[in-house]
Structure 1
């Protein structure tokens, strides 16, 4: 083939190749751009949908708070009426006005009522109250314990008596008629542990830390912080006749447990009482000790 013709053919092939390459490149870029645009649209759509869902959830939450539960302010606590709640929901109690330490909420054995503890300050002194409510939020009664705080609550198994443990000057255990709020009897642990000094912080006052009930007997652990002869705790465990408050037994029979006893617990059959010690290193008792007593004798 002649050289001029060959050169002409090569030029034509090269031109065609360049043209095809240009078209392919532009087509590829256009496809990429289209894909990116589609992805951008998808992402935008997703974001929009997520925002819509978030707004829906927020709206539902507001409806639940203000319409479904229909909370109402009763005295100093916020109670959501049981009648406005789903069967699987709960009654909410909020003591936001008092900000009281040791605030407790305890239901009666048959769930027909519940009690809460609230602390008010009168002339800068704490005054604690127990308030009883029906499950519909109706207040049944109030009982004022006087100066100090409420540290523990427990019901008798038949729901007739409410037992109250104070962290106060006298460290009193009180038994109340659960239907009227009237005092049935009381026992001042200060008669053995010593009276608290109003000029000292409340952790130096005697306190009933834990209460248990079984078969007509009520059990309580009580402690007081002492400075002399050295800093520490003195504690005792008590068993009372729930009807009249008469003392059945005390552990130990003489002296004290020289460390803190924050919790006691009855066995399901009521035959044994377990107690735990915590933190303070006594000479005879150490923190972390587990004690098991026969409830019939206290031994």
Structure 2
């Protein structure tokens, strides 16, 4: 098997089990040296220690890091550990996450805030810890873990969905800011049976949705030829892409009745013929100003 990540240095958060474990093992299988991060917990990181041992037993190189993604200092220590051990940091996989599912009406603000803290600020802390090193070496591959719950919504997951869509926005901007230094940033939206999905999916579905069937998608986002700003979906051996698009929309003249007119024209606004996948947020400004200029010329 071709080792696509030979001697690359990879950090995986929340890698003691589920998707994180599968990701760490797959990265190592492709030749990467892996920092296996997880919280210490009551068992003092026994699950993460087991992942490190498994990688080493298969001839790979791995180290344990026990730390909480919600603590910036812990993430800085993780990055320093990788740099001290191997002299560089090539790959960061922001995988750590939690669920606190309830309908919005029943959800406490502490549960909403906690999910955002782990998913969003956890990814920010880890990314901030590696960013300067990746800039200095003119190389980096960062993967955010998003979800269809964020992209499309899911009942009872307002906190989780908000966090996962926030990571798409973070990815979009970091990919632009990192482009000149060859830092590529992407999102992976997995469908897998993990501790976070226990009790949600039927047994027959869980048998197909193994974490190991997601992790090949991670490799595609971590190689030297990886894309950037891609939202890659993966589950049960199937792979898709999601896009945040911009329709051509319509142009309406200024007037007191503009809002009322728009109410009856939303189907035209939604029309997807000629829709765009913008390169940056300025695409909306450019499209709308161009349409306004075209309308002004037509009225002259």
TM-score of the aligned structures, taking structure 1 as reference length: 0.25
Greater C-alpha radius of gyration: 1
The structure that is helix-richer by fraction is: 2
Q: TM-score, normalised by structure 2?
A: 0.25
Structure with bigger strand share is 1
Q: Which has the higher contact order (CA 8 A, sep 6+)?
A: 2
